[in-house]
Homo-oligomer: A and B are copies of this chain.
Amino acid sequence: MEGESTLRLRVFDLNCWAIRYLSKRRQERVRLIGDTLRRDSFDLVLLQEVWSEQDYSDLRVKLAGYYPFSHYFRSGVIGSGLCVFSRFPILDTLLYQYSLNGYPYMLQHGDWFCGKSVGLPGSRAGIGVGTTAPLLSLSLQLHAEYCREKDAYLPHRLVQAWELAQFIRHTSKAADVVLLGGDLNMHPEDVGIRLLRGWTGLRDAFAEATRFEGCKNGCTLVPNNCFTDSSELLPFPLGIRIDYILYKAVSSFIVKCEELKTTTGPAPGTDIPFSDHEAVMATLLIQRQGQAVGATLGTDEPALADVVTEARTEVSVGLRAAQRQRYSSGRMALLALLLLLLQAAAALGTLAGLGAEQPFPKLSFCLLAFLALGILVLSTGLHLFHTMEVKMLHGTEDQMSMALQALQKRP
């Protein structure tokens, strides 16, 4: 099967959970990841949650001889956490920051501060003699799911999945092979995954693999990983699959997944796993074929229209919630402003000697004014934030409607 014009591409994907001061045994694990990557030479390594640039630099120094090309994507307050190591030259990079990514005031969730994005390194991989294939790989992470029953971030995650799908459609047109690896924070049958796969034509390496080895059902968050919060996995005793390798061939190439593996808890020879997620490793066969194949959608069109409709409905629900929040924060700002104006009028009145005497003690008066000012500043900030949220959700809803129209018009 493997001839002169075949490339066997080995891809490694891992959410490293390397948060400075917060992640357990971080430095030990980063060393372990580096050692493993150096030993099992892959062609392409896509890492997420490498939040510390120092960890990236250490990895780069360690891996320089094996993966001569690498890139770290910077964004947000803390960073994007994304980095890529490659055996092939990275010719170009592009970073796309999702327009919505949680709320700045949800400090305990922290997604907003991360500047979640998709990093796109473009490279060329040699296939056979004298042939190279433009290879577009993407490393990414979507907004986390903190509560499956009442998932307040679903509309944001859907906007991200949609923007990701649109980004892939627009940037992959001249690539031969598109490869995506990352922590999508979605179960395999969630609407966001179906939307992403359907709208881009990307195929799931787990579903397509000829051979599979690893955790049952390809799960990447498993109960027997000592870093996983087992209470989170109570409803899913086998674990869940939220890390994926997806791929497609765009032009005159075909891609097959020969083998997919996941790690299964502790790394060989140690007592700890790489991360709280399991790593996903795929071996892909890329072959040149005779004629070019046009871009295809991943799902047949009536089914895809259903998926887009479902996603649009969820986005509309999010839009209505954002509109309510925009309204109530605006009202709160207005009330605080009124209170401040009233106080100013009272103070001026006293100064001008109109009122007999100051009705409140000075300290309470002053405290009240500061409280009103604080509320005014905070609720104005919130109002601006939710206005942006409404705009982006509305824009995504529009784009989805346009996509549905286009789907319905096709013969």
Contacts and interface: CB of A to CB of B under 8 A. Distances in A.
Interface string A167-178: 101110111000
Interface string A58-100: 0000000000000111111101000000000011111111010
Interface string A90-120: 1111111101000000000000010100001
A120 B170 contact: yes
Contact of A73 (B72, B77, B395): B395
A297 interface: no
Given A93-B399, A367-B366, A406-B92, A391 B169 contact: no
A395 B95 contact: yes
A166 interface: yes
Contacts of A174: 173-174
A172 to B, nearest CB: 9
A402 B99 contact: no
Question: For A90, A120, A370, which residue has the most chain B Cβ atoms within 10 angstroms?
Answer: A370
Contacts of A73: 395
Nearest to A377: B377
A115 B74 contact: no
Interface residues of A, number: 47
Contacts of A367: 366
A394 interface: yes
Contacts of A395: 73-75, 95
Contacts of A171: 170-171, 173
A334 interface: no
Contacts of A99: 75, 95, 97
A127 interface: no
A74 B394 contact: yes
Contacts of A388: 75-77, 115
A392 interface: yes
Interface in A352-387: 362-363, 366-367, 370, 377, 384, 387
A398 interface: yes
Contact of A75 (B97, B175, B391): B391
A360 to B, nearest CB: 12
Contacts of A170: 92, 94, 120, 122, 170-171
Contacts of A384: 77, 113
A92 B402 contact: yes
A384 B403 CA distance: 37
Contacts of A391: 74-77, 79, 115
Contacts of A95: 99, 395
Contacts of A377: 377
Contacts of A370: 370
9 contacts: A74-B391, A75-B395, A92-B166, A92-B170, A92-B406, A97-B99, A171-B171, A173-B173, A366-B366
Given A79-B391, A93-B399, A113-B384, 4 more contacts: A74-B398, A75-B99, A75-B395, A92-B170
The 7 closest A-B CB pairs, nearest first, are: A173-B174, A74-B395, A74-B391, A170-B171, A370-B370, A77-B387, A77-B384
